[in-house]
Amino acid sequence: MAFEDGCQDGPVLIVGSVAYDSVKTPFGEKEEVLGGAASYASVSASFFAPVRLVGVVGEDFSETYLAQLADHDIDLEGLQRSPGKTFRWSGYYEYDLNQAHTTATELNVFQDFRPDLPRSYRDSPYVFLANIDPSLQLLVLDQVRHPKLVVCDTMNFWIESAKDTLLEVLARCDIALMNDAEARELTGEPNLIIAGREVLNLGPGVVIIKKGEHGALMMSRDSYFSAPGYPLEEIRDPTGAGDTFAGGMVGYLARCGATDDDTLRRAIIAGSVMASFTVEDFSLNRLLALSPEEVSERYREIVGMTQFGAF
């Protein structure tokens, strides 16, 4: 599935939720379909680099879904199957698709989950701590030897219930990802630029603030980049857009083996392209049917769309 151009710097380890989602949007409704931050991120990253997935599912988890992940060359040795039910998330969106409303979060097998990385995963050079309890993110990080790059994501649920642990994660990551509302909530600062600076003061060298359909901002101590969202006319379900963005971005960095400013900018566009496909359909349906050619074509479109001459 990945681009076959010989570029490759090593696998990406992804830890996060693998879930059954029930989602309602103004354009339809799906019950108990494949979801979870790690599922979206892994499939997205798999277009660019080999992926090692760390997570847990219950006895009720579908073999078909496992096969779909494995078909994307995602290494599932680190995905435990435990007695009990798979993590479940239910939510809905109104016409403002940037705002997810959670109706239920059932941690289920995640409640007693203690990640124990397979030996072969411990040298992973790229680590993406997708949305999950920050204490689990730390447990994973403790087991990886000298990663080249650690990227972390989170959500309001953890900002509100586990802020101190989340601050420990932020202090240990190179790139922090969050959406605009989360950056404001975490820092208590309404201005996004100031909020971004305050996140940088918590430890990461780079902060990327996702703004839903309006794109993303990247800030470091000496650089600022604003990426547009791809102008889609049909969005059916925004669930997983952020995770897909993150997976695509980290996968792209792993493929290039670099994290300089120019590569980061391209990685953000690659992540935006991946996310723009995810939202075209429910669950991972569009992502699982996507071809590398469609990805590179949309990437080129965004490049064309954002060029302008000097003043």
Q: Give residues in contact with ligand AMP (CB under 6 A).
A: 17, 19, 21, 35-37, 89, 100, 105, 131-132, 155, 157, 239-243
d(C-alpha 279, C-alpha 210), whole Å: 15
Q: By C-beta, is 132 or 195 nearer to ligand AMP?
A: 132
Give the tokens for residue 249: 């971005």
Q: By C-beta, is 125 or 153 nearer to ligand AMP?
A: 153
- In angstroms, what is the minimal distance from the CB of 258 to ligand AMP? 26
Q: By C-beta, is 137 or 259 nearer to ligand AMP?
A: 137
Find out whether 138 and 158 touch, Cβ atoms under 8 Å.
no
- In angstroms, what is the minimal distance from the CB of 290 to ligand AMP? 17
Q: Assign 291 to helix, strand or coil.
A: coil
C-alpha R_g of the chain: 18
- In angstroms, what is the minimal distance from the CB of 103 to ligand AMP? 11
- In angstroms, what is the minimal distance from the CB of 41 to ligand AMP? 9
- In angstroms, what is the minimal distance from the CB of 91 to ligand AMP? 7
Find out whether 21 and 243 touch, Cβ atoms under 8 Å.
no
- In angstroms, what is the minimal distance from the CB of 276 to ligand AMP? 13
Q: By C-beta, is 179 or 256 nearer to ligand AMP?
A: 179
**Selection from 110, 1, 115, 119 nearest residue 58 by Cα:** 110
**Selection from 258, 248, 237, 226 nearest residue 296 by Cα:** 248
| Cα dist from 199 to 89, 135, 153, whole Å | 27, 19, 12
| Cα dist from 286 to 70, 163, 283, whole Å | 17, 34, 8
**Selection from 84, 1, 79 nearest residue 45 by Cα:** 1
| Cα dist from 168 to 141, 144, 164, whole Å | 11, 16, 7
Q: By C-beta, is 136 or 256 nearer to ligand AMP?
A: 136
- In angstroms, what is the minimal distance from the CB of 239 to ligand AMP? 5
